[in-house]
Amino acid sequence: MSNYTALTAVTVIAALASRTAAADPTPPVAVAHVLIIRLAPEGEEPAADARLAVQEDYVATQRHIIQSQLIAERAFHSTRLQNVPAVGVDTAAIRKALKVEPAANGLKHSLTITATGVKPEVGVVILEAVLDGYQDFLQQTFKLPERGQRFRGGYAVAVLAKPAPVRK
């Protein structure tokens, strides 16, 4: 493949992507950016050998967890959503409104989470409830060990940009 062919292919793909994004009938109304952090078990170096390299793509797994029914249920039952009058949001609506994309602002191991199809202020509350539910899930799933027990690893999330309305 020549450099010209590769450049043409990239140009066509970029043009199609911009057309698809422009044609999206439901643009995001709220956005948040998070960094997913893998906490290695005691004595393990991340990707120390080829067998552990598969674990380095943990962001894709965490992306699916954020979009899961479990996290939507946690968000639905949060006090944040219960304080929003007449929202009409249920777990299906939360999952439908939620979009999670890799590489927030090009940062490795990060995600951009957006809400669509709702009012901007509702989208912000949905994202806050989803992030709260996800953080609770991580804390319950990957508890720190008791004294004398070995740490088995886990994940943490750092919110890089709090949920906010999308500026047009």
Instruction: Evaluate whether residue 11 is within a structural domain.
Output: no
Q: Domain range spanning residue 35? A: 26-165
Q: Is residue 139 part of a domain?
A: yes
pLDDT at 74: 93
Q: Which amino acid is at 22?
A: A
Tell whether 153 is covered by a domain: yes
Rounded CA gap, 15 and 100, in Å? Answer: 22
Using alpha carbons, select from 57, 68, 29 the residue that is nearest to residue 164.
29
Per-residue pLDDT in tens (0 to 9) along the chain, 168 residues = 433 333 323 322 233 233 334 445 678 899 999 888 877 766 666 555 444 454 457 888 899 999 999 999 999 998 888 877 655 678 888 999 999 998 767 788 889 999 998 889 889 999 999 999 999 898 888 776 666 666 667 777 888 888 888 886
State residue 13's pLDDT score.
Answer: 29
Look at residue 1 and tell me if it is in a domain.
no
> What DSSP character marks residue 27?
-
Q: How many domains in the chain?
A: 1
Alpha-carbon distance values, 63 to 49, 71, 130 (Å): 24, 11, 12
Q: Looking at residue 106, what is its pLDDT?
A: 77
What pLDDT is stored for residue 20 in this prediction? 35
Inside any domain, residue 4: no
* Structural domain includes residue 54: yes
Helix (H, G, I), strand (E, B) or coil at 112: strand
Determine the Cα–Cα distance for residues 111 and 104; give it in Å rounded to an integer: 5
Residue 19: inside a domain: no
Residue 14 domain-assigned (yes or no):
no
- The DSSP letter of residue 149 is S
Within the chain, strands assigned E span 28-39, 98-102, 110-116, 154-165
Whole-prediction pTM value?
0.72
What does the block give as tokens for 68? 């899961």
What is the CATH number for 41? 3.30.1890
What is the Cβ-side half-sphere exposure of residue 87, based on CA atoms within 13 angstroms? Answer: 23
